Amino acid sequence: MIKLLRVDHRLLHGQVAFSWTTNLGADCILIANDGIMHDDLRKTTVKLSKPAGTKLVIKNIEDSIAAINSGVTDKYKLFIVVESPKDAITLAEHCPQITHINLGGVKKLENGKQLSKTIWVTEEEEAGLKRLIEKGTEVEIRLVPDERKVNVGNLI
| Tens-place pLDDT, residues 68-124 | 999 999 999 999 999 999 999 999 999 999 999 999 989 887 888 888 888 999 999
Please give the model's pTM, rounded to 2 decimal places.
Answer: 0.93
| Virtual torsion, Cα 152, 1, 21, 133, nearest 10 deg | 0
Q: Which CATH number characterizes residue 114's domain? A: 3.40.35.10
Taken in order 99, 102, 107, 113, the sign of the CA dihedral is: positive
CA pair distance 120, 77, nearest whole angstrom: 29
Distances (CA, A) of 71 to 28, 151, 155: 14, 29, 34
User: pLDDT at residue 15 above 80?
Assistant: no
Cβ pair 113, 75 in contact under 8 A = no
Give the 3-state secondary structure of residue 82. Answer: strand
How confident is the model at residue 131, as a pLDDT?
96
The parent domain of residue 102 ranges over 2-153
